[in-house]
Structure 1
Amino acid sequence: MPHRANRTFVTNSDALTAWAPIARARLLEAAATYRATVSEQELAERVQEASGIRADQPADLWIGKLLERVAKEAERRDEPPLASLCLTPDDSDARSRERLRCYQAYATDLPADGGSAAPVVRASLPRRRTAAPAARAERRPVVPANQMREVTCTSCFMIVPARDVCTSCGEPLPAA
C-alpha cells in the first residue's frame, strides 16, 4: 500500500489521483521534444519523488493504472494520447503512431515534413529477470533458530504460528 514519508498509508486510488497530474506534466515535457520518451521506471520515480507518496509494490504492478488515468484525462481534454510517450513492454507500432500525434501537437523541434512514427525498438526496454522455475522452487526462506515459523491459514488468511490447527479460526493448517 502506498505511504507518505512519515509512513502513514494512502489508498491506491488516492496515490493514483496524486500521481496522475505529475505524470501528465512529465509526459507533456517529453512531448515537447521530437522522439523523446519516458521509461516506466523514470515515470514511477518522478511521480513518487514529486508527490512524497511512495509505493511498496514494484512500478510494473501499478504503472498501467496510472497511465490509464493519464490517457482518460488526455481524452477528456481532447489531447493526443500522452500515455503513449511512456514505453511499456507491450509497446507497438500503433503506440508509435500515437506518439507521433503527441509530437505533432507539442514538439518544438518537429521536422518540417511533420515527422514520422519511430519504429518500436524492444531492445531499449528493460527486461525483468526471472529465476528459472526449478531455482525458485528450491529456495526456502531461512528461519533463524530463535524465530517462530509462521504460515498463512487457507481458511481465514491470517498469518499464524505453524501448528496443526489455526490459532485464529481453528481450522486445520496445511502441512509444511
Structure 2
Amino acid sequence: MPPMDPIPRLSAPHALMRHMIDTPDFDTAAAAARIRKNAPEPLQEHWADIDGVLYPPKQAYHLISGQPRSEFNTHHALTQLRKCGFATSVYVPRSASDTEPAGDGPADSVETIDQSGPATTTTPGTWRVSDGSAVSFRDAISEWGAVAHDVLLETASRYNDFVTYKELAEKVQEISGIRTKSQMRNWIGKVLAVVVEECARRGEPPLTSLCVTQNQTVGDGYRFVLETAGESIPDDLDHHAAEARLKCYRAYSTDLPSNGGTPTLPPQVTASREAAARKAAAARPEIVELCPEHHTVLPRSGRCDYCA
C-alpha cells in the first residue's frame, strides 16, 4: 500500500484558493496553472479535464486545495473541481448489493463512470465536436462568450424577447462546436462575464439582461453580472433587468412599438407577482367600522341602523 500523504499545514496560497472555491472570484486559470505544474498520475476510473489534460480528481483537488488526500474521497474531489469550473467524469455510486461494506476511514466509495455520451476515461470533458480534440476550459469560455454575445444581440432584435440560461448554454455549444460535460451552473456565469466585458468595450446596452432562468426571473446569475460590471445591486433584480432589456430593445429591436416600449416583466414573473399580491390581500383581515354608540358593524351607507 503506498504511503498516505503527510498532513501539511496549508500555505497561504493554498488556503486562499481553497477558501475561494465556489465563489465568483475564484480564478480557474490560476488553479489550472497550479495543477499543470505537476505531471498527471495514472488514471483509474475518474478524471478531471485540466486545460485539455486529464488528471485523477484527487490529485487535482489536492494540488489546488492543499488538503491531504486521506481527508477526502473522489466524489468530493469531483464535486469541488466542478465548482472550480473544470469538466470531470460523473460519479455514479453502485447499489449497495454491488459493493462491499464500507470500512472505517476516508477511503473512496466504489465508483463507476457514466458511459453515456462521448466522454469516457480517454475522452476529454470539454471537446471540439468536429474531431473530438480536447479544448481547454479557458478557450471554451472565450469562444462561448463570443457566440453568446451574438445570440443575445439577435434576441434583442425582437421586442420583449429573452432567452433562458439553459437555452443559451445549448446554443453556444451547438454553434461553437465545443461541448462539455461540466454542469451549466459551473460555467454559464463565466460566459456571461465575457459578454459583459464585450458590451462595455463596444459601448453596448447590457445584453446579459436578456438571459433568464426557467421561471423567467433573472435570478442570482443577474446579480453576478452586475457585480462583474461593478454596478450596485438593486432591491428588485427583475425590475432592474426589465429596464436594462428595454435599452437593448430600443437599440436593436426591429419591431419596437412607436412609443418606444416600456419596461416589461416576463409573463411568468408577472403572473407570479400578481398571484402573490392576491394571496397577500386575501390574508389581510377586513377592516370594518363600528358604530361608536352601539358597537355594531356599520353598513356600506356608513349609518348605524340603530341610530337612524
Same fold (TM over 0.5): yes
Q: Are residues 1:105 and 2:251 paired? A: yes
Query: Residues of 2 paired with 1:17 and 1:123: CA distance?
Result: 35
Query: Residues of 2 paired with 1:104 and 1:9: CA distance?
Result: 40
Structure 1 residues 116 and 15, CA gap change in structure 2 (3 angstroms): same
| Residue 49 of structure 1, aligned match among 170, 174, 181 | 174
State the one-letter code of the partner of 1:10: V
State the one-letter code of the partner of 2:252: Y
Structure 1 length-normalised TM: 0.65
Task: Provide Cα deviations, 1:11-40, integer angstroms capped at 9, x if missing partner.
Answer: 211001111121111111110000010111
The answer for the alignment partner of 2:65 in structure 1 is none
Give structure 1 regions of 4+ aligned residues with deviation exceeding 4 angstroms. Answer: none
State the one-letter code of the partner of 1:105: A
Task: Provide Cα deviations, 1:58-77, integer angstroms capped at 9, x if missing partner.
Answer: 21221111011101100110
The answer for the alignment partner of 1:23 in structure 2 is 148
Q: Percent identity?
A: 43
State the one-letter code of the partner of 1:4: R
Once superposed, what is the RMSD of the aligned Cα atoms? 1.9
Structure 2 length-normalised TM: 0.38
SS in 2 for 1:3: strand
Q: CA deviation at 1:123?
A: 8.5
Q: CA deviation at 1:41?
A: 1.0
Q: CA deviation at 1:105?
A: 0.4
The answer for the alignment partner of 1:74 in structure 2 is 199
Count matched residues: 124
The answer for the alignment partner of 1:4 in structure 2 is 128
SS in 1 for 2:257: coil
Greater mean alpha carbon deviation, residues 98-107 or residues 48-57:
48-57
For structure 2, list consecutive stretches of 5 or more residues without a partner in the other structure: 1-86, 88-125, 214-218, 223-237, 272-308
Contact 2:162 2:212 in 1 (8 A): yes
For structure 1, list consecutive stretches of 5 or more residues without a partner in the other structure: 125-176
Contact 2:246 2:261 in 1 (8 A): yes
Contact 2:146 2:194 in 1 (8 A): no
Task: Provide Cα deviations, 1:78-117, integer angstroms capped at 9, x if missing partner.
Answer: 0001111111433521111111100010001111111111
